Chain A
Amino acid sequence: MEAVGLTPVLVVSTALFTLGVIGVLTRKNALIVFMSVELMLNGVNLAFVGFSRQTGSMDGHVFAIFVMAVAAAEAAVGLALVILLFRNRLTVQLDDLDRMGG
């Protein structure tokens, strides 16, 4: 069985991360920006797993699990913020949220 090399893993990881950055920078919907952040986190996770396989140690897997846990925490708080935002302003379009304070 031929193993998958490191380079294709990193190329896919880079592609996912860049797609996430594009989403964060160009989309206006807060929820889609959120999903783009998740996409970036997944790109990084793939790189962690790829490097872990290259070095033969489990450390990268542990990091990937931690990233997932932090992503879950971030999603919970972030979506609560989106709900709060929608309740106060009736919009999740980031362009409409240009005032600080109440």
Chain B
Amino acid sequence: MTESVLFYLFSLLAVVSGASVILQRSTIASALSLVVCFFALAADYVMLDAHFVAVVQVLVYAGAIMVLFIFVIMLLNIREPGATPVGTLSNRGIIGLMAAALLGVALIAGLDGLVHTPVTAINVDLQGGQPAYGTIAAMGEELFRGNYLLPFEAVSLLLTVSMVGAVVLAKREV
């Protein structure tokens, strides 16, 4: 019971702060709203028994990525040229809003078939020496002994490449 209530509360917080991200005029306010959204989502992951994902969400998203964002915002120190009020949208903005709303309606319509899917209980208890669902042990089992060892190594290569790429791009003289 508590799980459901907390899930709804944090979901509400996530959606409200997510809306705040795209409605704020100042970039830094958007970034801070996004941090709130990430924390709320981390709480949602805990309610869904995804403990490791929740930890990584806080460490990587709310920590590393958002620090990078705020660092760049502060570094560039952008002056919004006559910050546009939210109410006034250009033609392009109106068309974009309509297209996005259409997509939202289509996605919700797609959910319709799933609404009646019965909720299965998750076997969180230990079964035959298998680590419990959602824990770091289960994740490590999956990543290093399951089918995901090669993708895991590929991602490490991707991160190295992107790090080198970022340095090459942002450096003044290579």
A residues lining the B interface (CB < 8 Å): 1-12, 14-29, 31-32, 34-36, 38-39, 42, 45-46, 49-50, 52-54, 56, 58-59, 61-62, 64-66, 68-77, 79-84, 86, 92-93
B163 to chain A, nearest CB (A): 6
Give the chain A neighbours of B60 by CB distance below 8 A. 68-69, 72
Are A80 and B166 interface neighbours, CB within 8 A?
A: yes
Are A22 and B166 interface neighbours, CB within 8 A?
A: no
Are B56 and A8 interface neighbours, CB within 8 A?
A: no
A21→B103 CA distance, assembly (Å)? 9
Cβ-neighbour of B158 out of A2, A35, A61, A70 (below 8 A): A70
Which residue of chain A has the shortest Cβ distance to B44 in the bound complex?
A46
Interface residues in B8-55 by Cβ distance below 8 A to A read: 8, 11, 14-15, 18-19, 21-22, 27, 30-31, 34, 37-38, 41, 44-45, 47-50, 52-53
B90 to chain A, nearest CB (A): 8
Give how many B residues have a beta carbon under 8 Å from the other chain's beta carbons: 86
- Nearest first, the 5 A-B pairs at minimum CB distance are A25-B96, A73-B162, A18-B104, A23-B22, A80-B169
Give the chain A neighbours of B104 by CB distance below 8 A. 14-15, 18, 21
17 contacts between A and B (CB under 8 A): A2-B4, A7-B111, A8-B7, A23-B21, A31-B73, A35-B31, A35-B69, A39-B37, A64-B53, A68-B57, A69-B159, A71-B61, A74-B162, A79-B72, A82-B72, A83-B169, A83-B170
A90 to chain B, nearest CB (A): 10
A42→B57 CA distance, assembly (Å)? 9
Give the chain A neighbours of B115 by CB distance below 8 A. 7
Are A76 and B166 interface neighbours, CB within 8 A?
A: yes
Which residue of chain B has the shortest Cβ distance to A49 in the bound complex?
B50
Give the chain A neighbours of B84 by CB distance below 8 A. 28
Cβ-neighbour of A92 out of B78, B151, B167 (below 8 A): B78
B residues lining the A interface (CB < 8 Å): 1-4, 7-8, 11, 14-15, 18-19, 21-22, 27, 30-31, 34, 37-38, 41, 44-45, 47-50, 52-53, 56-57, 60-61, 64-65, 68-69, 72-73, 75-76, 78, 80-81, 84, 89, 93, 95-97, 99-101, 103-104, 107-108, 111, 114-115, 117, 119-123, 133-134, 138-139, 141-143, 146, 148, 151, 155, 158-159, 161-163, 165-167, 169-170
Are B170 and A80 interface neighbours, CB within 8 A?
A: yes
Residue among B75, B96, B161 with the most chain A CB within 10 A? Answer: B96
B128 to chain A, nearest CB (A): 14
B10 to chain A, nearest CB (A): 9
